[in-house]
Amino acid sequence: MPYAAILHIDIGDLRLAENDQTLQQKLFNAIRDKITQGLWPLAGKLPSTRKLSEELKLSRNTVTAAYEQLVYEGYVESRKGSGFYVSIELPDHYLPEINSTLAEVGHIDQQDINRSFAPGVPDLTQFPVKKWQRYIQNHASRSAILGNGHVQGALELRQALANYLASSRSVVCNANRIIITSGAQQALTIATMAILKRNETLLLEYPGYVQMDKVSNLLNINKAHIDVEPLKGLNIKQLEATNAKAMYVTPSNQYPMGTTVNTEQRLRLIEWASLNKSWIIEDDYDSEFQFAHRPYTSMQGLAGQLGLDQNIIYIGSFSKVMFNGLRMGYMVVPESLVEQCNTIKDALSGDSPSHVQHALADFIADGELLRHIRKMRRLYKAKHQAMVEAIERHLPTHVEIISQPGGLHVTLRWVGGINEELLRQHALKQNLIVRTLAYYQPDGIKGRTWNGIVLGFGNTPLTDIEQNIVRLAKCFDQNESL
Ligand SMILES: Cc1ncc(COP(=O)(O)O)c(C=O)c1O
């Protein structure tokens, strides 16, 4: 017989009504209501008569009598030597609305939102899950890490990260300056809360990363936009004309325009921040995946060489180099900001999951992270190449690629023809997720006269790329609304 786990029903909030009925009748009604509302599920094992009588301060006889009545009326069955089980199968229409809603939510297919060409998703089939499982297992049985941890993050992880960031990104740091966060998202929130007051202004790249836009909206921060121009990148002159309190920037691979901030421009940004006593929030996203050139030194590292890293917050994430569901990120802040960031993190979420942190620390220290990144860099380079070739071969000639060879997405631009939103809708019918450029411009498209979309290729198998682009090409021909 196949093994089926027994679902033990908890007494939970079972409560007897305050009315004139007998205790037995009240208990019967309370349990029957749980069953008919679908809260105590079919085949679930009821609490033992002993446990229930103790918990509800009823005599054992009362409980046994109520259970027998439930058996008699067919709600419950008694299994010899085992106990009482919910036995009634409720017709669907009997179940209250709330349960069917819960069931639907539970069944949303997670694969769905990660399918081709969803941006920001790495190749989930390539992550060495067995190896990762061993790292997790190594720590799962350690009772020493079952308690609360340091809010800043496990020292072992911060140490491993400090070495990794110094050697791969020239980040000037030590374990004391690193704070472990729940993805880059929490780091962005903590950074914004730590350095900006309500009436101060945060500069955002435009088009830009919408998750950062959400943070500034949530915190009621004034925001201003710095334009990112196709193929040219960040309009640094606009930046130099302001004395805003902080600038958020994705210098390795501007998201979503796919431009990069070169060393000379990085120095101008650093100078601006230093002269104005402003902050730079450097989101070093995609620095690991550059296919045409070696990555530039991080802005934090560059500033550190000049002794100017006191107002730079460096942010990173494991979402793309490992997998999104890990929800792990980090921030490197000047010593002067550590305590404040810890206080904010403590209030937002408390400490981070200990087993994952320790497994990750070993994964990095053993060189497994670097090994995985190197392997994936080769694969993504091949995927990027396949995207470029398929786009050139199959998409209309007026569609051009404007993003650099880097990261896990390609950004396209075209003038005239189908508009980007209609294209997105047609693509969805083809089971393809494409992001319009307007998605990255939540405050309006600002007179943009061209159409743009972002195609993520990370989680698309190399062998599917061409056929997916062929399907997308058909959408360009369908200029009628759906
Ligand atoms: C610009 C940018 N920064 C950071 C991230 C990673 O965020 P998180 O670590 O919260 O998954 C993303 C993910 O798409 C991104 O596009």
Choose among 345, 324, 369: nearest CA to 153: 345
Question: Measuring from atom 14 of ligand 1, which residue has the nearest CA?
Answer: 120
- Atom of ligand 1 minimally distant from the CA of 329: 9
**Annotation: CATH topology of 129-370:** Aspartate Aminotransferase; domain 2 (3.40.640)
Ligand 1 site residues (CB inside 6 A) read: 120, 183-185, 209, 250, 255, 283, 285, 317, 319, 324, 329
Across the chain, what does the average pLDDT equal? 93
- Span 1-98: which CATH code? 1.10.10.10
- Atom of ligand 1 minimally distant from the CA of 283: 3
**Number of Cβ atoms within 10 Å of the Cβ of 158:** 23
User: Average pLDDT for residues 386-409, to the nearest whole number?
Assistant: 97
Report how far ligand 1's centroid is from the alpha carbon of 118 (Å). Answer: 13
Report how far ligand 1's centroid is from the alpha carbon of 293 (Å). Answer: 22
**What is the sign, positive or negative, of the torsion defined by CA atoms of 167, 173, 176, 179?**
negative
Q: Do domains 1-98 and 378-477 have the same CATH topology?
A: no
Question: Measuring from atom 7 of ligand 1, which residue has the nearest CA?
Answer: 184
Which listed CATH number (2.40.110.10, 3.30.70.20, 3.90.1150.10, 3.30.230.70) goes with 378-477?
Answer: 3.90.1150.10
Distance between CA atoms of 61 and 24, rounded to whole angstroms?
Answer: 9
**What is the sign, positive or negative, of the torsion defined by CA atoms of 70, 72, 73, 74?**
positive
Residue 195 belongs to what H/E stretch?
helix 183-195
Distance between CA atoms of 121 and 126, rounded to whole angstroms?
Answer: 12
Under 8 Å between Cβ of 84 and 92: no
Report how far ligand 1's centroid is from the alpha carbon of 310 (Å). Answer: 24
pTM of the full structure:
0.87
Position 89 pLDDT exceeds 80 = no
Pocket test of ligand 1: the residue of 114, 188, 204, 209 to mutate, having most ligand atoms within 8 Å of its CB, is: 209
- Atom of ligand 1 minimally distant from the CA of 185: 10
pLDDT digits (tens, 9 = 90+) for 257-282: 999 999 999 999 999 999 999 999 99
- The domain spans of the chain are 1-98, 129-370, 378-477
pLDDT digits (tens, 9 = 90+) for 56-69: 999 999 999 999 99
Q: Which pLDDT score, from 0 to 100, does residue 453 have?
A: 98
**Number of Cβ atoms within 10 Å of the Cβ of 343:** 14
